[in-house]
A and B are shown apart, each in its own frame.
Chain A
Amino acid sequence: MAPIQILKLQNTFKPGGKVFEVERAAAEHSGLVQMLLQDFDDSDLEAIIPISVDVSDKGLAKVFEWMTHSKDLPKTTDDGSVRGPDDSAVNWKPLTFSDWDKKFFDALDSEALYEILIAANYLDIKPLYELGCQFVANMIRGKTTEQIREILNITSDFNPEEELRIREQKALVKDESETAEKN
């Protein structure tokens, strides 16, 4: 049995970033790490791989936790998930959330969730990125404007008159559409 290779990764975005030790099989979920490893000799594997992303160590730790748990999964998104032949021609793409994934995302606060999205985008971890984006979309789906504000904790200082003016700008198009509809 081949020995497990451990990679060391450090976030250099801010000084003093923690050095994470991650199994190579897990780290290869990242397209960026895969690309870097192509230029590495075996002797280079002892070196620390620098990454630079505006995410806290806590957020990165969650990303590596997901990668380690999912190390045996296919490294691409071609896992039989539902999608049409033309990716742009379907608006339903229900990715499969395993029980573990559900628990993982449910336990995150919004700050950690957004950090994971930023890190997954930077590190090019497509399955995690897609799952995270769909998780956020699911939070919004089927909600009214007021409910979305409440869930996402959004506040703004638009007064009712300004809100109305923004909405009127949208409504303008709708009114025109009704005229065209009769043509």
Chain B
Amino acid sequence: MSDFDTYCAICGGPLNEVKIGSTAPSHLRRRREIVARKRDALKRIDSHDGRGSQRKDKEDDVHDEEHEESAEGEEEWFAGHEGKSYDPGLISRQGLAWLQEICCLGLNLEVNGESNFRNYLRNSDNPAFPFHHGCLDILTQVLTGSTDAANLNKDALYDAMSGLHDVSKKWPIGQCLNLDYGNVEGRDRRWRSIPGEEFSVTDPAPTAELAKTLRRCIIEHGFGIGPDSLGSVIPRQPQVRDPFSRLPVEILQYIFRFLPGHDLLAVLKASWIAFLATRSNQFWKRFLKQDMPWLTELWPLLEDYTQGGDHELNYRAQYLWLDHATLPRYGLDGPFLALANRRRIWGVCEQLALPYFRHLHAKPLGEPDSRMVEATFCRHMAIESDNKPGCDPSASRKTFFAHSVDELDSWPMNLEFFWGKNHRLVGLCAIICKQRRVFGLDGEVNPDVTKSALRITAGLRITEIQLFIETADPNKSPTASPGIVSLKVITSVVLCMLDRFYPDWETRLGVFTALTVSPGARSGDQDQNKQGPRADRRSG
């Protein structure tokens, strides 16, 4: 069993049990008081710091309040248990059932066709990415606009997730992807059920009850269009110098379509012209739909309002209200925990969308670029192992497994090795974005060969290939008719990737991963014939 919990690759949430606190009135009251105090303290920090700088340090100060003594006559408050459990008034055991519905995306290059899913996780150096079914539903909606996960391209998704996976660690030690999972602190060595973060484990699926609550809140709130009070707010013509004044309203509104809500609100505060350009109710109706695509319960409600014709909604006010009511944040305790979690997960899925579509539409170079050709130019003559009479030295073959340095950074490479009946290497194929680059025999078209494979994650470099060579006849010299019977591929994390993931990369330069490919599993004695280390350095 691992020393670390593994978390959902999509929402970063737990895949197993979480703790729910007791329903004793004194515990409920106490937990809520602690959460309320911390929430108020965080609000004060945010209002002072703007975007919450040094928030973490100050949060630590807030935590100290959890260790207060119990008052006389109250049930004992165990900070270690009750202080690390969710509010039973906000979530229930039934409501957590979705956390147990898990699926997994894995890859084992040596599994052919239909197979038990365990084969994809076992005997494979490649990571497998677990996630909740509910999260997969949201990801499917974001990436395909449909609810059918069959529309997802699993290869592209796996490649996208692999690119976001810390390449120097193997799942599950890496725990989750290199994504922003929102303001959730529960993810640690083990999942911490932090009171105030109940939204992070709330089922994000749409329900009839949720739609009903949303409808009730909108009706109660009204959101009618009141008299335009702006004139009374600024009773004069302001003098502004704003380059946006050069642009017509339609262009400004088009620019704002590319902005998420918080950036739009920032620019409206910054620019009076932008503020004036967005005062149309229709703009906010469109923006509401654009910025909250995850709020599927809302669209039928808006349709009802439009058709009812009683009064037009103030979409700006409605947007601001919804933005606030569903903002995933510490201490959220309204009726919209599920919406807040869906919004958070949708945001993570949007981060995944970029690499997913990049892999989906990937078109690597058909030919090696000039830089690669120059870097691999070799002045030495090709040497043939069997100098048969009549053999043409110029007939030697050359294959570029990588066509550019960029593609090594962008896409994973599957390496396939083909072995003949005598267990000797007869072919080698590098596959990048389904483009096959073959040297020697291609196992795909030669059924008599056996295949072994490995995957080189994007960003990794092969720094060394060790060849294990054996002669056909043990009585003859090893230089006569040698054959490669096994090989070891050694990869290393390149500096730019280390720099990205580890600011302290200097201490990790020695880390490397060795991947061995050997169909006959013959080692030991082969070490005597070891040819190497021989490096096939594909990049500087």
* Chain B 237-274: CB-based contact to A (< 8 A → 1; otherwise 0): 01111111011101100111111100101110111100
* A43 partner residues in chain B, CB cutoff 8 A: none
Min CB distance B83 to A, Å, is: 25
Residues of B within 8 A of A73 (CB): none
Residues B263 and A89 in contact, CB atoms below 8 Å apart: no
B242 touches A177 (CB 8 A): no
Contact with A along B348-361 (1 / 0, CB 8 A): 00100110010001
The answer to the question of B51 belonging to the interface, with a C-beta cut-off of 8 Å to chain A, is yes
Question: Do the beta carbons of A144 and B324 come within 8 Å of each other?
Answer: no
Given A177-B320, A180-B321, the answer on whether A88 and B238 have CB atoms closer than 8 Å is no
Interface residue B335 (Cβ < 8 Å from any Cβ of A): yes
User: Do B258 and A154 have beta carbons less than 8 Å apart?
Assistant: no
Q: Point out the residue from B233, B321, B334 that lies within 8 Å of A169, measured CB to CB.
A: B233
B290 within 8 A of A: yes
Q: Is the CB of B243 within 8 A of A177?
A: no
Q: How far is the CA of A127 from the CA of B289 in the complex (A)?
A: 23
Interface pick from A5-13, A16-24, A29-37, A129-137: A129-137
B263 touches A156 (CB 8 A): no
A81–chain B nearest beta-carbon distance, Å: 9
User: Chain B's nearest CB lies how many Å from the CB of A70?
Assistant: 18
Q: Which among B243, B255, B353 is the interface contact of A110 at CB below 8 angstroms? A: B243
Q: Which residues of A contact B316 (CB under 8 A)?
A: 173
Q: In the complex the two chains form, is B217's CB within 8 Å of A183's CB? A: yes
A145 to B259, CA, bound (A): 14
Q: Which residues of chain B are within 8 angstroms of A155 by Cβ–Cβ distance?
A: 240-242
Interface pair B357/A145, CB less than 8 Å apart: no
Out of B51, B272, B290, B293, which one reaches A144, CB within 8 Å? B51
CB atoms of A80 and B361 under 8 A apart: yes
Q: Are A141 and B263 in contact (CB under 8 A)?
A: yes
B325 adjacent to chain A (CB < 8 Å): yes
Contact A140 B259 (CB under 8 A): yes
B221 on the A face (CB < 8 A): yes
Q: Is there an interface contact between A173 and B325, defined as CB atoms closer than 8 Å? A: no
Given A90-B290, A91-B293, A154-B271: A134 and B242 interface contact (C-beta under 8 Å): no
List the B residue with the shortest CB-CB distance to A120.
B251
- 0 or 1 for each of B340-371: is its CB under 8 Å from A? (1 = yes): 00000000001001100100010000000000
Q: Quick one: given A155-B240, A180-B217, are A170 and B263 in contact (CB under 8 Å)?
A: no
Contact between A170 and B271, CB atoms less than 8 A apart: no
Residue B220 lies at the interface, judged by CB distance under 8 Å to chain A: yes
Answer whether A90 and B272 are a contact pair too, CB < 8 Å, given A165-B233, A176-B321, A177-B321.
no
Closest-by-CB residue of A relative to B316 is A173
Tell me how far the C-beta of A94 lies from the nearest C-beta in chain B, rounded to whole angstroms: 6
> What A residues does B350 contact at CB under 8 A?
91-92
Within 8 Å of chain A (Cβ to Cβ): is B73?
no
Q: Would you call B271 and A169 a contact (CB within 8 A)? A: no
Interface residue A61 (Cβ < 8 Å from any Cβ of B) = no
- Smallest Cβ distance from A162 to chain B, in angstroms? 6
Contact B248 A118 (CB under 8 A): yes
Contact of B395 with A by CB under 8 A: no
Whole-angstrom distance between the Cβ of A148 and the nearest chain B Cβ: 4
| Dominant secondary structure at the B interface | helix
Query: Nearest Cβ distance between residue A136 and chain B, in whole angstroms?
Result: 5
The answer to whether A157 and B233 touch across the interface, beta carbons within 8 angstroms, is: no
- Cβ of A15: which chain B residues have Cβ within 8 Å of it? none
Given contacts A155-B241, A177-B325, contact A137 B259 (CB under 8 A): yes
- Kindly report which residue of chain A lies nearest to residue B346, judged by CB atoms: A91
Interface status of A153 (Cβ within 8 A of chain B): yes
Residue contact A88 to B243, C-beta cutoff 8 Å: no
Contact of A174 (CB < 8 Å), options: B50, B269, B320, B361: B320
Chain A proximity mask over B428-444: 1 for CB below 8 Å, otherwise 0: 00000000000000000
Tell me the complex Cα distance, A84–B356, Å: 13
Does A90 contact B293, Cβ atoms closer than 8 Å?
yes
Distance between Cα atoms of A158 and B257 in the complex (Å):
27
Do the beta carbons of B241 and A118 come within 8 Å of each other? Answer: no
What A residues does B396 contact at CB under 8 A?
none
A133-B258, A174-B324 given; A140·B145 CB < 8 A: no
- Tell me if A89 and B238 are in contact (CB < 8 A): no
In the complex, whether A128 has a CB less than 8 A from a CB of chain B is no
CB neighbours of A170 from chain B (8 A): 265, 320
Q: In this complex, what residue of A is CB-closest to B358?
A: A82
Asked whether A85 is an interface residue with its Cβ less than 8 Å from the other chain, the reply is yes
Report the minimum CB–CB distance from A152 to chain B (whole Å). Answer: 6
Asked if residues A89 and B266 are in contact (CB atoms below 8 Å), the reply is no
Asked if B90 lies at the interface with its beta carbon under 8 angstroms from chain A, I say no
Across the interface, do A114 and B246 meet the contact criterion of CB distance under 8 Å?
Answer: yes
Residues of A within 8 A of B220 (CB): 180, 183
> CB of B317 within 8 A of chain A?
yes
| Complex-state Cα separation, A84 to B144, whole angstroms | 7
User: Complex: how many Å from CA A111 to CA B320?
Assistant: 33
With the chains together, A167 CA to B269 CA distance in Å?
A: 8
Q: Is the C-beta of A72 less than 8 angstroms from some C-beta in chain B? A: no
Q: Contact at A88–B290, with CB atoms within 8 Å?
A: yes
Any B CB within 8 A of the CB of A106: no
**CA A80 – CA B286 in complex, angstroms?**
24
> By the criterion CB–CB under 8 Å, are B255 and A136 in contact?
yes
B409 sits at the interface (CB 8 A): no
Smallest CB–CB gap between B68 and chain A, Å?
26
Are A143 and B266 in contact, CB atoms less than 8 angstroms apart? yes
Instruction: Report B-chain residues with C-beta under 8 Å of the C-beta of A129.
Output: 254
Query: Is A89's CB under 8 angstroms from B270's CB?
Result: no
Query: Which residues on the A side are within 8 Å of B324 (C-beta)?
Result: 174, 177-178, 181
Known interface pairs A133-B255, A152-B271, A174-B320; A162-B145 also in contact (CB < 8 Å): no
How far apart are A126's CB and chain B's nearest CB, in angstroms? 11
Q: Which residue of A lies closest to B351 (CB)?
A: A92
Q: In the complex, what residues of A have CB within 8 A of residue B334's CB? A: 181-182
Supposing A82-B354, A148-B271, A174-B324 touch, asked if A121 and B243 sit within 8 A by C-beta, the answer is: no
In the complex, which residue of chain B has the Cβ closest to the Cβ of A152? B243
Residues on the A chain within 8 Å of B272, using CB:
156, 158
> Shortest 9 CB-CB distances between A and B: which pairs?
A137-B258, A85-B145, A181-B334, A177-B321, A148-B270, A156-B240, A157-B239, A145-B269, A173-B320
Given contacts A118-B246, A140-B267, A153-B243, 10 further A-B contacts (CB under 8 A): A85-B145, A85-B146, A91-B291, A92-B350, A121-B250, A154-B270, A176-B321, A178-B324, A180-B217, A183-B335
14 inter-chain pairs at a CB distance below 8 angstroms, sorted by A residue, are A85-B145, A92-B350, A111-B246, A118-B246, A118-B251, A136-B255, A137-B258, A141-B259, A153-B243, A157-B238, A169-B230, A170-B320, A178-B324, A183-B217
